């Protein structure tokens, strides 16, 4: 009975934490930091990629506008221009804020489907048109480049679930394309996640190489200090030996050494021998 109660308490606690955990995982958790322009780790190809993405987004706006405006009323046609421009801007923003850009892209995609669905030709792909697939897949790709695989898979699952939900509430028959859009989104997510893994692996290799270089430099420094210490030890030991021998021989070089001189020389020899013994112990 106590075990059942404990499991129930843990389950309620997990349910209470779920909304906050979902919020942090889907929105609040930061994406991978990308070095800013001018920093040493910034990729040399990044400016070119940003320019290419802007060009692609600009080229995307025109066919997307035509796609949204086909078989639509004047009101929807005017709205289609704004929607296409907004989607193009969101695609570019994915380079800087991939999480927010993906949420904005998903919201715009759902909004365009809901607005155009009643007036859409039954022969057109639904819910993801050709340009809609490209737009949502691009946003998903940019997201997978900067977040963990778990978050990327969650975004993919939410995209697929939203597409399925849109097909369940329609005002007419449509040419459903879930079987074609799903592989596109999966490939976009896998490609982005693979490139992220490759980037992180290269970053780890660079960090490991720096650590190895630091360790090698530290080891070289320690070896140099050890060599200097050994040489200093040998020099000092040699001088102590010389002093001991000179102190032993000095009384014999004087014809009538005084007792005081003998005692001083003996003390010098004993001190030299003690110092030499200390050096040998070290």
The pLDDT tens digits of the residues spanning 179-194 come to: 899 999 999 999 999 9
Is the pTM higher than 0.75? The answer reads no
Nearest of 144, 128, 121, 145 to residue 87 by alpha carbon: 128
pLDDT, one tens digit per residue, over 139-151 is 999 999 989 888 8
CB 87 within 8 Å of CB 136: no
Chunked mean pLDDT (size 10), the chain, 282 residues? 60 59 56 59 62 77 76 59 85 86 91 84 85 91 90 92 89 86 94 90 85 86 84 77 77 73 75 73 66
User: What are the domain boundaries of the chain?
Assistant: 33-210, 222-281
């Amino acid at each position: 009975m106590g075990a059942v109660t404990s499991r129930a308490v843990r389950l309620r606690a997990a349910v209470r934490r779920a909304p906050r955990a979902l919020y942090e995982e889907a929105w609040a958790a930061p994406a991978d930091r990308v070095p800013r322009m001018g920093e040493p780790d910034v990729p040399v190809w990044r400016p070119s990629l940003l320019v290419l993405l802007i060009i692609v987004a600009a080229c995307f706006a025109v066919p997307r506008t035509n796609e949204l405006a086909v078989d639509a009323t004047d009101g929807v046609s005017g709205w289609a221009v704004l929607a296409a421009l907004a989607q193009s801007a969101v695609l570019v923003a994915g380079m800087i804020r991939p999480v927010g850009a993906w949420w904005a892209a998903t919201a715009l995609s759902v909004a365009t489907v809901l607005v155009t669905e009643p007036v859409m030709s039954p022969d057109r792909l639904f819910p993801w048109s050709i340009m809609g697939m490209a737009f949502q897949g691009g946003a998903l790709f940019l997201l997978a480049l900067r977040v963990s695989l778990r978050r990327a898979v969650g975004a993919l699952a939410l995209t697929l679930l939203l597409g399925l939900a849109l097909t369940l509430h329609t005002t007419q028959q449509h040419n459903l394309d879930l079987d074609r859009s799903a592989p596109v989104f999966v490939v976009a997510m896998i490609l982005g996640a693979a490139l992220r893994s490759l980037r992180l692996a290269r970053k780890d290799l660079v960090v490991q190489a720096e650590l190895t270089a630091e360790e090698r430099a530290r080891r070289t420094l320690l070896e140099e200090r050890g060599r200097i210490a050994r040489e200093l030890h040998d020099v000092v030991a040699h001088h102590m030996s010389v002093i001991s021998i000179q102190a032993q021989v000095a009384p014999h070089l004087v014809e009538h050494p005084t007792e005081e001189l003998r005692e001083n020389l003996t003390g010098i020899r004993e001190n030299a021998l003690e110092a030499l013994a200390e050096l040998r112990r070290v």
